[in-house]
Structure formats: structure tokens, C-alpha cells
Amino acid sequence: MTALPDPPPARRLGLVIDLDTCVGCQACVVACKEWNGGGPAGPLGDLEPWGAAPSGAWLNRVHGFEVGEGEAGRTVYFPRSCLHCENALCVTVCPTGASYKRAEDGIVLVDEAKCMGCGLCAWACPYGARELDRPSGVMKKCTLCVDRIGDERLPAAEREPACVATCPARARHFGDLADPDSAVSRLVAERGGVELLAELGYRPTNRYLPPRPGRRLAASAERLEDAPAEGGFLGWLDRLLGG
Ligand code: SF4
Ligand code: SF4
């Protein structure tokens, strides 16, 4: 199987996603699709893009959930993509070495020339972050737009993933989460950013910032902060992922 870098990378590049300000507009989904190989259908699904049931691999998806009912109801949008885990079992289960973690910055990637599309990595990922691209027969996942963040021809301010650059709500942030002084690390500390499914031990790099209670939500019997007895907001999110 495939080894992880030893010692672990000193840098941990990843995303911080603000569930309080994400409005579910899907702009990040479209920007991701277009930047990462939009085919003949551009940012639409690869298969039957104009048919009744378009489909295809998406490296970033945004799901919407309803919490509470009536006046106390609230919609929470949850963007989902690879979390670039430190203990990435999607890498260690890979029989060909196609899945790997970069030693210099911790980004988890797929070498498409080595991928045989067996799907083991997708089974190993508890976050549902990998999708098989049926036309090419290889596994796809978020790359943090490596071809963009490392392109020195771009102005420094533009060297960020397409989803981050596109988000009109500024709900997505990119940086080094191993650096306690980075803007993303400070944001996580200030807002109580959470690690998804921490109990599984994958040690994801990405963090999510919990929604703040709105005026109506604060009066609700089903506040996100204390809804589940086991784990508060984190438990609520874990059950969504597990469900
Ligand atoms: Fe691998 Fe899934 Fe973690 Fe991404 S989120 S590194 S695909 S286990
Ligand atoms: Fe949410 Fe920003 Fe993506 Fe829109 S672009 S769905 S606001 S994360």
C-alpha cells in the first residue's frame, strides 16, 4: 500500500469554511468544476449535462439542511470536499501509489497516470470526498487548486483555490493551519473551528466555523449549540455526515 510522509509535513495547507456565512449559492461548486477540468459542458455535469439526470464527478459539493421548524427553523449549508487529512487512510489503502500526500505542504493528491479506479480510497474516506470520474476511469478529489496556488506568474493575492476566490460571502478561507499565527489559524481560534469526525482519527486539516445563533434560533428549543446531548454542534454535524 502507499506510505504517508515521514516525518509529517511541517505545513498543513487547507480550508476554513464558515457555516455562519455560507448562503448555499453554489458559486464555489461551479468555480471548482470549471477550474478543475470543465469539459465540453463547462461547469455542468460531465454526463448528460442537458439531460434529465445529469451526473459527473464534483470535487466540491454544497448540501443544505433544515434545522428546527416554523419560526424557529433555519437552513444550514454544508460545503463538502477533501479535508486533506494528516492520517489519510485514502492514501495508505491505495495499492498503486496513485493517492499520495505531499511532503512539503500536506496536500493529498491523485496521480491519475497511476490510478486504476478501484475505488478503495473512496471506501476509506469517511467524508465522502472522493468521486470516480466515469469518463476517464480515475478518482477525483479536491486538489486545493495546486496548479493555481503554486503559479508564480499570478499575483500573490490570486494564488488561492478557485472556490475561495469565488465565494461572494467570503465563507471560505485558505492557508497554513500548522502555523498558529496564520490568518486561518487565528480564525479557527477566535470562532471555535471544529474538526469533523475527530473520533475516527483521520486528523483532517480543514476546519468548519459553527453557525452563530440568530435571534430566532436563540429562542428555539432546537439550538444547534445544545441540540444533541452528545457533542453540541459538532455532534449534530457528525450525525449529518454519518447519516
Ligand atoms: Fe482522504 Fe477523505 Fe481525508 Fe480527503 S477527506 S484526505 S479523501 S480521507
Ligand atoms: Fe457557500 Fe461561498 Fe460556496 Fe456560496 S460560494 S455555496 S456562500 S461557500
> Considering only CA atoms, which residue is closest to atom 1 of ligand 1?
90
Q: Is the CB of 26 under 6 A from ligand 2?
A: yes
| Strand ranges for 91-161 from DSSP E | 99-101, 108-110, 131-133, 138-140
Domain count, the chain: 1
* Residue 81 Cα: closest atom of ligand 1: 5
Question: What is the CA(126)–ligand 1 centre distance, in A?
Answer: 8
Nearest ligand to the CA of 110 is: 1
Q: Are strands 207-209 and 13-18 parallel, antiparallel or unpaired?
A: parallel
Q: Is the CB of 172 under 6 A from ligand 2?
A: yes
Q: What is the pLDDT of residues 3-43, one digit of tens each?
A: 999 999 999 999 999 999 999 999 999 999 999 977 666 77
Q: Judge whether 6 lies within some domain.
A: no
> Considering only CA atoms, which residue is closest to atom 4 of ligand 1?
82
Q: Is the CB of 171 under 6 A from ligand 2?
A: yes
DSSP 194: B
Q: Is the CB of 27 under 6 A from ligand 2?
A: yes
Q: Judge whether 86 lies within some domain.
A: yes
Q: Judge whether 182 lies within some domain.
A: yes
Q: What is the pLDDT of residues 37-48, one digit of tens each?
A: 776 667 777 888
Whether a cis peptide bond, with omega within 30° of 0, leads into 7 is yes
Among 60, 85, 197, the mutation site with the greatest number of ligand 1 atoms within 8 A of its Cβ is 85
Q: Is the pLDDT of residue 203 over 50?
A: yes
Q: Judge whether 7 lies within some domain.
A: no
Question: For residue 127, what is its C-alpha cell?
Answer: 467524508
The closest of 182, 100, 189 to 139, measured between CA atoms, is 100
Q: Is the pLDDT of residue 225 over 60?
A: no
Q: Judge whether 160 lies within some domain.
A: yes
The secondary structure element, H or E, covering residue 18 is strand 13-18
Q: Is the CB of 167 under 6 A from ligand 2?
A: yes
Q: Is the CB of 78 under 6 A from ligand 2?
A: no
Q: Judge whether 4 lies within some domain.
A: no
Q: Which domain holds residue 86?
A: 13-46+55-242
Q: Judge whether 99 lies within some domain.
A: yes
Q: Is the CB of 35 under 6 A from ligand 1?
A: no
Q: What is the pLDDT of residues 39-90, one digit of tens each?
A: 666 777 788 888 888 888 899 999 998 877 887 778 889 999 999 999 999 9
Q: Is the CB of 129 under 6 A from ligand 1?
A: yes
CATH label of the domain that carries residue 32: 3.30.70.20
Question: What is the CA(65)–ligand 2 centre distance, in A?
Answer: 14
Burial per residue of 208-236, b for 16 or more beta-carbon CB atoms within 10 angstroms, e otherwise: bbbbebeeebeebeebbeebbeeebbbeb
Q: Judge whether 5 lies within some domain.
A: no
